[in-house]
Amino acid sequence: MSETPALPLDADGILSLAARSMFQLFSSMSQGMFLVDREGRIVWMNEGYKRFLPALDIASPEDFVGHRVEEVIPNTLMRQVLDSGEPVLIDLLTNKAGTFVVSRIPLHEEGARERGARPAVIGAIGIVLFDQPQTTLAPLIDKFARLQRDLEDARRELASQRANPLLRHAADGQRRSKYTFASFVGSSPAAVEVKRHARRAAQTASPVLLLGETGTGKELLAHAIHAASARAQGSFVSVNIAAVPDTLLEAEFFGVAPGAYTGADRKGRTGKFKLADGGTLFLDEIGDMPPGLQAKLLRALQEGEIEPLGSNKLVPFDARVIAATSRDLAALVREGRFREDLYYRLNVLPLKVPPLRERRADIPALVEVLGEDMALRSGEAPPELMPDALALLAAQRWRGNIRELRNVLEQMAMRSDSQRIDAAQLERIMRECGVERIEAALPPADAAASAQEAQALLLRPLEDQIAELERRAIGAAMAATGGNKLATSRLLRISRATLYQRLENPV
């Protein structure tokens, strides 16, 4: 009969046991973990990390283990940890596999301090703490992104004032990206998917074509792609083709030579293509471009050079092009209203931005973010929407998408004297706003959907289905108790703290 070995009682033994226990704890509780040696080569990974390999375009664990970490994990800071010997305890890592909350901890040689020597780094541990921070840490990430944008805006404005306070004070703010992927609010499958493709597009230099209805956030995604690209330090120059008269578009694009025509500026004018040199040129509403200018745009994109109006000199430029349209470009090509060769030049990386009705689960989060923005602008907190009012918003068709949703919320804030809005009050306000057709709040999915739709709903991630059921349960309980949160928490047998958390941050 074997005897159970006695636990170590000396300090070194306890320390060794604690180190092994912590390693096993992190390996079992984290979303993924791996080890690298002092050269930065991956020597081990746990089972949890293997599920990230397909998203990193890695076929098998053998193609991961044994490689240098920067070769297989884009944007990693593990090399910095190995060189400095300092940990990075909390960080956001974004690459083509997604966005993750990670921790990087260096491993040091044992016994060095006792010998009076500086402990050498012999490797490091990489830990994925959260693999869906958009859901888990959404409020924190959103606030951090807003603070980061404010800081960057302040830095750019200060830099422009130092460079030329008279000429560049107002212009510089329009030459930088204003948004990141954290600004695209939503954790629904449709929102997550479009952000995943957009992040991958940001890693390339190819043209991107954003397709989608008006008000879906195409311009925001264009800013985010630029901010996540290698050109992030360059200019982001935007042109809304539908807002510029046809006769001025060529000058807007290519610029004007000094004294090109009567009344022209003697100093000339720089076009948007040249302003975007080294950065990104965003062509919004590309489907509205007049046919006469399409050929010149195609040549500029193919040759990488432009010819300003009134000049015989070709000017080179280097700008990444992102185009967007709410129109059916393929149909315009078939009708002969859009050049086929230009269409293929732009349609290298197409991204379909989903309408709001295809991401209804994001409406509570959008309402919260839009409400915060409205409060910052007006200085007054917007009314609180009851669960049945949120359900009514989720049922609408939203032809104007997020832009229309914001308009309704602004109208609600101006027209209501109450700090809490239920479905009946919201419906009255929407009718006063001129909404032609108000859809009834969605019934349970299995009663309203066809068999095919019901099957599609059941094939969604289980986490989303549980979250939707939880929202419905809270909404029904709030309605049954007249909005009494204490009674609601007792009815659902949850703590009031949990109820407040769910109401403030719907999962």
Average the pLDDT over 188-215 and give the result: 92
The per-residue pLDDT for 279 is 92
- Tell me whether residue 18 is in a domain: no
- Tell me whether residue 49 is in a domain: yes
Same domain, 225 and 370: no
Question: What is the spatial distance between Cα 447 and Cα 401, in angstroms, rounded to a whole number?
Answer: 26
Cα distances from 254 to residues 172, 207, 226, in angstroms, run 19, 19, 21
Contact of 287 with 214, CB cutoff 8 Å = no
The per-residue pLDDT for 5 is 53
Structure tokens, 42 = 């991956």
The pLDDT of residue 203 is above 50: yes
Query: First-to-last CA distance in the chain?
Result: 53
Same domain, 470 and 500: yes
The per-residue pLDDT for 168 is 37
Long-range Cβ pairs for the range 64-69 (8 Å, 24+): 66/41, 66/42, 67/41, 67/42, 68/39, 68/40, 68/41, 68/42, 69/36, 69/40, 69/41, 69/42, 69/126
Residues 6+ apart with CB under 8 A from 308: 254, 255, 256, 257, 260, 268, 271, 315
Q: How does DSSP assign 333-402, residue by residue?
A: HHTTSS-HHHHHHHTTEEEEPPPGGG-GGGHHHHHHHHHHHHHHHHSSPPPEEPHHHHHHHHHS--TTHH
Structure tokens, 88 = 């990075």
Q: Please report which confidence band the pLDDT of residue 170 belongs to, taking 50, 70 and 90 as the band edges.
A: very low
Average the pLDDT over 399-414 and give the result: 91
55-105 residue pLDDT tens: 888 989 999 999 999 999 988 989 999 998 899 888 888 887 877 888 999
Average the pLDDT over 338-355 and give the result: 94
- Tell me whether residue 114 is in a domain: yes
Q: Please report which confidence band the pLDDT of residue 474 belongs to, taking 50, 70 and 90 as the band edges.
A: confident
Question: What is the spatial distance between Cα 457 and Cα 450, in angstroms, rounded to a whole number?
Answer: 10
Average the pLDDT over 13-19 and give the result: 69
CATH classification at residue 497: 1.10.10
Identify the weakest region by mean pLDDT among 27-41, 259-273, 277-291, 437-451. Answer: 437-451
Same domain, 425 and 453: no
The pLDDT of residue 37 is above 80: yes
Q: Please report which confidence band the pLDDT of residue 469 belongs to, taking 50, 70 and 90 as the band edges.
A: confident
Same domain, 401 and 459: no
Identify the weakest region by mean pLDDT among 135-144, 146-155, 164-173, 308-317. Answer: 164-173
Question: What is the spatial distance between Cα 78 and Cα 37, in angstroms, rounded to a whole number?
Answer: 11
Neighbouring C-beta atoms of residue 474, cutoff 10 Å = 20
Q: Please report which confidence band the pLDDT of residue 149 belongs to, taking 50, 70 and 90 as the band edges.
A: low
The residue from 387, 417, 442 where one domain ends is 442
Identify the weakest region by mean pLDDT among 89-98, 113-122, 235-244, 494-503. Answer: 113-122
Same domain, 467 and 426: no
Contact of 360 with 394, CB cutoff 8 Å = yes
The pLDDT of residue 164 is above 80: no
Average the pLDDT over 23-37 and give the result: 85
246-283 residue pLDDT tens: 888 888 888 888 766 655 556 778 889 989 999 999 99
* CA neighbor of 445 nearest in space, from 437, 453, 433: 453
The pLDDT of residue 113 is above 60: no
Same domain, 459 and 423: no
The pLDDT of residue 172 is above 50: no
Q: How many degrees, rounded to 5, is the angle at CA 382 between CA 380 and CA 387?
A: 160
Question: What is the spatial distance between Cα 294 and Cα 288, in angstroms, rounded to a whole number?
Answer: 10
The per-residue pLDDT for 35 is 94
Cα distances from 395 to residues 81, 407, 442, in angstroms, run 49, 16, 5
- Tell me whether residue 72 is in a domain: yes
Same domain, 58 and 126: yes
Same domain, 341 and 369: no
454 vs 36, higher pLDDT: 36
Q: Please report which confidence band the pLDDT of residue 459 belongs to, taking 50, 70 and 90 as the band edges.
A: low
Question: What is the spatial distance between Cα 239 and Cα 447, in angstroms, rounded to a whole number?
Answer: 46
Question: What is the spatial distance between Cα 196 and Cα 439, in angstroms, rounded to a whole number?
Answer: 31
Question: What is the spatial distance between Cα 505 and Cα 192, in angstroms, rounded to a whole number?
Answer: 18
Sheet bearing 320-325, strands edge to edge: 236-240, 280-284, 320-325, 208-211, 349-352
CATH classification at residue 369: 1.10.8.60
Question: What is the spatial distance between Cα 225 and Cα 200, in angstroms, rounded to a whole number?
Answer: 9
The per-residue pLDDT for 194 is 92
Owning domain of residue 343:
177-258+270-354
The per-residue pLDDT for 345 is 93
The pLDDT of residue 166 is above 50: no
Q: How does DSSP assign 225-256, residue by residue?
A: HHHTSTTTTS-EEEEEGGGS-HHHHHHHHHEE
The pLDDT of residue 210 is above 70: yes
294-312 residue pLDDT tens: 999 999 999 889 888 878 8
Same domain, 205 and 279: yes
Place of tokens 């901010």: 227
CATH classification at residue 317: 3.40.50.300
The per-residue pLDDT for 451 is 44
The pLDDT of residue 208 is above 50: yes
Question: What is the spatial distance between Cα 100 and Cα 298, in angstroms, rounded to a whole number?
Answer: 39
36 vs 436, higher pLDDT: 36
Average the pLDDT over 371-396 and give the result: 85
Q: If you average pLDDT over every residue of the chain, what do you get?
A: 81
Neighbouring C-beta atoms of residue 178, cutoff 10 Å = 18
Q: How does DSSP assign 104-140, residue by residue?
A: EEEEE-TTTTTTTSPPPEEEEEEEEEES-HHHHTHHH
Cα distances from 13 to residues 18, 23, 51, 318, in angstroms, run 9, 15, 35, 62
Same domain, 409 and 348: no
CATH classification at residue 106: 3.30.450.20
The pLDDT of residue 335 is above 60: yes
Question: What is the spatial distance between Cα 427 and Cα 33, in angstroms, rounded to a whole number?
Answer: 50
The residue from 335, 354, 373 where one domain ends is 354
Determine whether 1 is exposed, middle or buried from the number of CB atoms within 10 Å of its CB (0-12, 13-18, 19+): exposed
The per-residue pLDDT for 240 is 92
Question: What is the spatial distance between Cα 445 and Cα 464, in angstroms, rounded to a whole number?
Answer: 13
The per-residue pLDDT for 348 is 92
Number of domains in the chain: 4
Same domain, 367 and 466: no
- The DSSP bridge pattern shows strands 349-352 and 208-211 to be parallel
- Tell me whether residue 203 is in a domain: yes
Same domain, 323 and 366: no
**DSSP letter, residue 42:** E
Contact of 241 with 286, CB cutoff 8 Å = yes
The residue from 310, 328, 354 where one domain ends is 354
The pLDDT of residue 437 is above 70: yes
The dihedrals phi and psi of 489, each to the nearest 5 degrees, come to -65, -35
